[in-house]
Amino acid sequence: MKRIIVFVLSAFLFSYCTTVPLTGRRQLKFMPDSELLTMSFTQYSQFLSQHRLSTNQTQTAVVREVGVRIQQSVEKYMADNNMTDRIKDFRWEFNLVDDKQVNAFCMPGGKVVIYTGIMPICQDATGLAIVMGHEIAHAIAEHGNERMSQTMLANGLLTVGGAVVQAKNPSLTNQLLLQAAGVATNLGMLSFSRQHESEADHIGLIFSSMAGYDPREAPRFWQRMAAASGGGQQPPAFLSTHPSHEKRIQDLEAEIPAAMKYYESATRK
């Protein structure tokens, strides 16, 4: 009997599994895309209505340009690898919000926000592409859905029918979404787990390189981030969930040779 239960349970969980593009990692996914994206789009418009867009036209234009170029690389990659389905309902948007916080995020479905506070650390379009690639990678790898699914599983918010929590408690589901996308926390872009952060670094670096942005800028950008967040002095809570700057920079250095191939073929044209 026990074995049957285990079998049914694993078959159930397996049916709610999916694979992360580029890394091939298996992940949990309970939230139906249609439901998640509808929620995400609503939350994004709400966010924009509550925040001021930057009036700096030059910076706004750079944000849009870098965003669209990375979007095109993602679309090309997905088309080349028979994964267009996974982004077919994306409604890409790239907005620069007037806010001193050092932050950026991409909500499920390609809804990007860059804060003006991160622009001086980006320095230029290439630095911005590193941030944008990283944030978009979280959305492509569906880290938001995975985190929500993990939270739901841990809190018994699921029924055998799947994620019905939305109908039962829409405000809780919306809260989960904002947290999962890194919107509703003080840590903002730094709120993802170590595993999700390294995965987003890896995937993001490839997408920004494909879009023609030099991957050698990635470690430099994270060095500037490290300096901006007080050098080596990171608070313990931050360290426990987030890769240390040093480790992240080392990992990115190691990924540069592979990313250079995409960068070179993008800039050769």
For Zn ion, which is the closer residue by CB, 192 or 221?
192
Cα separation, 147 vs 151, in Å, equals 6
Within 8 A by CB and 6+ apart from 188, the residues are 101, 102, 103, 104, 105, 182
Shortest CA distance to 57 belongs to which of 93, 105, 92, 96? 96
The answer to whether 222 contacts Zn ion (rule: CB under 5 A) is: no
For Zn ion, which is the closer residue by CB, 29 or 242?
242
Shortest CA distance to 256 belongs to which of 215, 219, 223? 215
x/- mask, Zn ion, residues 54-83, rule CB under 5 A, reads ------------------------------
Cα separation, 59 vs 67, in Å, equals 12
Shortest CA distance to 119 belongs to which of 167, 56, 182? 56
x/- mask, Zn ion, residues 195-214, rule CB under 5 A, reads --x--x--------------
From the number of C-beta atoms within 10 Å of its C-beta (0-12, 13-18, 19+), residue 224 rates as: middle
Span interacting with Zn ion, options 110-118, 144-152, 194-202, 222-230, rule CB under 5 A: 194-202
E strand map for the chain: 17-19, 26-28, 93-97, 104-107, 111-115
How far lies 254's CA from each of 183, 215, 261, in Å? 30, 11, 14
For Zn ion, which is the closer residue by CB, 119 or 189?
189
Helix, strand or coil, per DSSP, at residue 49: helix
Q: Please, what is the minimum distance in Å from the beta carbon of residue 105 to Zn ion?
A: 8
For Zn ion, which is the closer residue by CB, 17 or 187?
187
Q: Please, what is the minimum distance in Å from the beta carbon of residue 104 to Zn ion?
A: 9
Q: Please, what is the minimum distance in Å from the beta carbon of residue 138 to Zn ion?
A: 6
Q: Please, what is the minimum distance in Å from the beta carbon of residue 134 to Zn ion?
A: 6
Task: Return the amino acid letter for 5.
Answer: I
Span interacting with Zn ion, options 18-26, 61-69, 191-199, 210-218, rule CB under 5 A: 191-199
Span interacting with Zn ion, options 10-18, 46-54, 184-192, 240-248, rule CB under 5 A: 184-192
Which residue in this structure is represented by tokens 């018994």?
A: 156
User: For Zn ion, which residue of 105, 192, 207, 262 counts as binding (CB under 5 A)?
Assistant: 192
Is 246 one of the annotated active-site residues of the chain?
no
For Zn ion, which is the closer residue by CB, 144 or 212?
144
Question: DSSP characters for 159-210?
Answer: BTTB--HHHH-HHHHHHHHHHHTT-SSTTGGG-S-HHHHHHHHHHHHHHHHH
For Zn ion, which is the closer residue by CB, 212 or 243?
243
Given the residues 135, 146, 197, 199, select the one marked as catalytic: 135
Q: Please, what is the minimum distance in Å from the beta carbon of residue 79 to Zn ion?
A: 25
Q: Please, what is the minimum distance in Å from the beta carbon of residue 189 to Zn ion?
A: 5
* Total residues interacting with Zn ion, rule: CB under 5 A: 3
Q: Just list the catalytic residues.
A: 135
Site residues (vs Zn ion, CB under 5 A): 192, 197, 200
